[in-house]
Amino acid sequence: MKLIENLNWRYATKIFDASKKVAKEELEMLKEAIRLSVSAYGLQLYKVLIIENDEIRTELRTASWDQKQITDASHLFVFCNYTTNYDEHVDSYIQRVIEAQGSDEEALKRYGGFIKDSIKNMPSDERKSWSEKQTYLALNNLLLACAEMKIDACPMEGFENSSYNRILGLDEMGMNAAVIATVGYRAEEDEAQARKKVRKSTEELFKLA
């Protein structure tokens, strides 16, 4: 199975070759893989910022514990969950379904009301956690697509969330930087690529019930 071979090939790249850039056509394919990701109710309550600007990335590096992947990788993906206006996002989603599928408009609007109530009735801390988790589903699609295309990537939680929000003006847009990933091509000197992959055995990881 090619997927398993590709997953064995990938690793969390720590040193990128700054001279190598992901081609525009490949970047579009990565974006499409993210766009097709699963999400709760199909809402996709997130936006993905793709940072290329060197000045912005230099500033973000200081908010990322000075990890060099931020500036050396070809692109920096910032997965941002929405924090406000959930009703508007639900309405937009329902309208997209109506336009794409031609389904029963009244039934879909009732379904939209159900989704709004479900989100509204969540305790604030639970809603925050739920919203942030959606970005991880999208991140996984990016990592799988990168492995398929032999593009290196490093998912990262090691950054100052509030600083990213400030630098990128996310608070004003009702968004929050939840998780990031650097994408590009591994440098020859990255010793991590030669390490044997370490995972739990199948017997240890899985249990039938």
Tens of pLDDT, residue by residue over 107-125, are 999 999 999 999 999 999 9
- Residue 10, helix vs strand vs coil: coil
Could you report the per-residue pLDDT of 56-103, keeping only the tens digit for each? 999 999 999 999 999 999 999 999 999 999 999 999 999 999 999 987
What is the signed CA dihedral for 64, 39, 88, 109, rounded to 10 degrees?
180
Tell me the DSSP string of 117-155: HHHHTS-HHHHHHHHHHHHHHHHHHHHHHHHHTT-EEEE
The matching CATH number, chosen from 3.40.50.920, 3.40.50.261, 3.40.109.10, 3.20.190.10, for 2-205 is 3.40.109.10
Q: What is the mean pLDDT of residues 28-40?
A: 98
Domain ranges of the chain: 2-205
Name the H helices within 36-171: 54-62, 69-72, 86-101, 105-120, 124-148, 161-167
| Residue-level pLDDT at 103 | 77
